[in-house]
Structure 1
Amino acid sequence: MEATRTEEELRSIIQGPGDVEWRYEMRRECQEILPGLLLGPFQASKSLEILQGLHITHIVCIRDAKEAFSVKARFPDHFKYLVLDVEDNEEQNLIRLFPGAKAFIDQAISQGGRVLVHCNGGISLSPAFVVMFAMQHYNLSWEDALHMVQNRRYCISPNGGFLTQIKEYESIYKAKNAVASYPITQRQVSRRKREDDEDEDERDDDRKRALVHGDTSSYDPNAMDDS
């Protein structure tokens, strides 16, 4: 996730460039969603010349297993690929696959690379991954992240199942951020307090055991016997 931004900066990021006139043929091209991350259809990954012209270094190829014969890594000698075999239906679990894709994209961008994320049509499957990435990258709500991606690639339309998972991912990443931002000193204090409490409990138990043993050893069964 990037550094904290002002509300105005985030609004500008979500709205995107206002001077882009969307044309139908642009659905066959790829668009830059955020610096270093592009989204498009398989068509955009088939031209080595275009990919090199866009300075692409990494490609995330997301495909339905039935498409493996055609939707594949075409230029493994030129680009680093991550290929994800999924099912393009509403039951497919994207959240489980997303961490690996995010790590791949993060590493590429941190090294100055440029990543193309694509599926077959660039309409539903790959956009769902990119929306989740943008959401966490800019600390956005799922609605704002969806609008951000749509404002750059107008034709995206994640299916209902993917949209539900996008909504669910907002609470997942925010919970992780909350844990990560919890002051480490506070965590250490809390841990020490738990350890101190446990030590105190053990000392109390030791004292109780000592008292019990002491009473038993000093008890004289004949002390009240007058005979």
Structure 2
Amino acid sequence: MGEPCPGTEDLCGMDLPVLKRLLRDDGARCLLLDCRSFLAFSAGHIRGAVNARCNSIVRRRAKGAALSLEQVLPGDEDARRRLRSGLYSAVVLYDERTADADAVRRDSTVTLVRQALCTEASDTEIYLLQGGYERFFTECPELCLRTKSLPSLSSLDSSCSSCRTPHRDQGGPVEILPFLYLGSALHASRKEVLDATGISALLNVSADCPCHFQGDYQYKCIPVEDNHKEDISSWFLEAIQFIDSVRASSGRVLVHCQAGISRSATICLAYLMKRKRVRLDEAFEFVRRRRSIISPNFGFMGQLLQFESQLLATTSCAAAAAAVSPLLGPKSSSSSSASTAAGSATAPPASPFIFSFPVSVVNSAYLHHHSPLTTSPGC
């Protein structure tokens, strides 16, 4: 492997027409790395791009040393493997709008990602897309992916007495990821909504919401109450593995609780934090932009904060990132079979978390005071 690059002095620029030709003629051997934040990437990016990012904690822990590929590409094992194997002929970095390589700051994500590439993929040619995503989207919007909003299902009402969905929540389930949807018990009770969204499995995060269509969809139940004393973190492992299994089968899973505000939102946040390696504040804002009424209760937020601290610790070195996390180890077959039955009374597995956060740790922006709905039971 080569030595870390001192900066971007010899970084070559690539203009838009050249990138278009490269993607057309040799797209399989060209890796696009989007060096913007997770939220910016999620709002829109070039088709096929992978999000490379360096949050403030990773930067501090590096203490000026070159970062590893596990740290800058935490969510894409295949890209890391191909980089180390020399299977890419070119890597093209881009940020929001940097015009050329001379304008790249030494402390920017582009610089840090390039240093990691020089260290662990030294034989690959590295370029900077001139003008960044902003220019590319302006000139080639057809080659970009933008966040899509689902149409409002105005025909829905709150006539389902067992669902008790708030009147303000009358739209359909929202897409968090292409295979992951968040919604309420009302959405889970409407077969036409599930079919229209392409749902193949439901993750029911409640102790009392019924599983209406067990013969038509795959179900998994997590029997927790929306109570700040509940240990929802003990179910993170099984929930994440269930979502992964649905994704692996090319399906779509709806995660719901009673109102789609607290319990199911907590599971979606945990999934994003684990699989996308993002911090809680980023994951929260990402989900909130899609479903504005989310508001996990105080106890769940504390458990998510502790989950964040454990996950970030595993990215401090490549060995820890590659190993099976002591937090999310292998799933036992016994718990898997018992929890798939609807309304299962299976006792929750022992939690790997010790919740001891003081009140001052939790950012007040995450708490319930923004919404009067959160004072009601069954969220």
The aligned counterpart of 1:89 is 227
Report the CA distance between 1:9 and its aligned residue. 5.9
Cα distance, 1:8 vs. partner? 1.8
Q: CA deviation at 1:11?
A: 3.1
Deviation at 1:94, TM superposition (A): 1.4
Taking a change above 3 Å as real, the CA distance of residues 111 and 91 of structure 1, as seen in their structure-2 partners, is same
The alignment partner of 1:97 has SS state of helix
Task: Please report how far the alpha carbon of residue 111 of structure 1 lies from its aligned counterpart in structure 2 after TM superposition.
Answer: 1.3
Q: Which structure 2 residue ranges, 5 or more long, are not aligned?
A: 1-30, 45-145, 153-166, 324-379
| TM-score normalised by structure 1 residue count | 0.69
Distance 2:201 2:150 in 1: 28
Change (3 A) 1:140 1:152: same
Q: 1:50 — aligned with what?
A: 193
Q: How many angstroms does 1:121 deviate by?
A: 0.5
Query: Which amino acid in structure 1 is aligned with residue 203 of structure 2?
Result: V
Q: Is the 8 A contact 2:150 2:172 kept in 1?
A: no
- Could you list the per-position Cα deviations for residues 166-190 of structure 1 after superposition, in whole angstroms to 9, with x for gaps in the alignment? 11111222344551337xxxxxxxx
**Which letter does structure 1 place at the counterpart of 2:202?**
I
Q: Given the superposition, is the C-alpha separation of residues 15 and 158 from structure 1 closer, same or farther in structure 2, using an over 3 Å criterion? A: farther
Identity %: 29
Q: 1:21 to 1:155 in 2, by over 3 A?
A: farther
Partner of 1:7: 35
Counterpart in 2 of 1:98? 236
How far residue 19 of structure 1 moved from its aligned partner, in angstroms, is 8.0
Gaps of 5+ in 1: 183-227
Shift of 1:7: 3.2
More displaced 10-residue stretch of structure 1: 157-166 or 99-108: 157-166
Measured after TM superposition, the shift of residue 137 of structure 1 is 1.8
Measure, in 2, the Cα distance between the counterparts of 1:105 and 1:13.
22
CA distance in 1, matches of 2:33, 2:309: 20
CA contact (8 A) 1:135 1:141 kept: yes
> What is the RMSD computed on CA atoms of the aligned residues?
2.7
Contact map agreement 2:38 2:282 (CA 8 A) in 1:
no
Contact between 1:58 and 1:116, CA under 8 Å: does it hold in 2? yes
Paired position in structure 2 for 1:157: 295
Asked whether the 8 Å contact 2:150–2:174 carries over to 1, the reply is no
Cα pair distance change 1:11/1:88, threshold 3 Å: closer
Q: Which amino acid aligns with 2:39?
A: R
Deviation at 1:27, TM superposition (A): 5.1
Contact 1:14/1:147 (CA < 8 Å) preserved in 2? Answer: no
Task: Identify, as 1 or 2, the structure richer in helix.
Answer: 1
User: Aligned runs of 1:32-181 on 2, under 5 Å?
Assistant: 32-63=175-206, 65=207, 68=208, 71-177=209-315, 178=317, 179-181=320-322
Structure 1 residues 91 and 22, CA gap change in structure 2 (3 angstroms) = farther
Taking the aligned partners of 1:12 and 1:79, their CA distance within structure 2 comes to 34
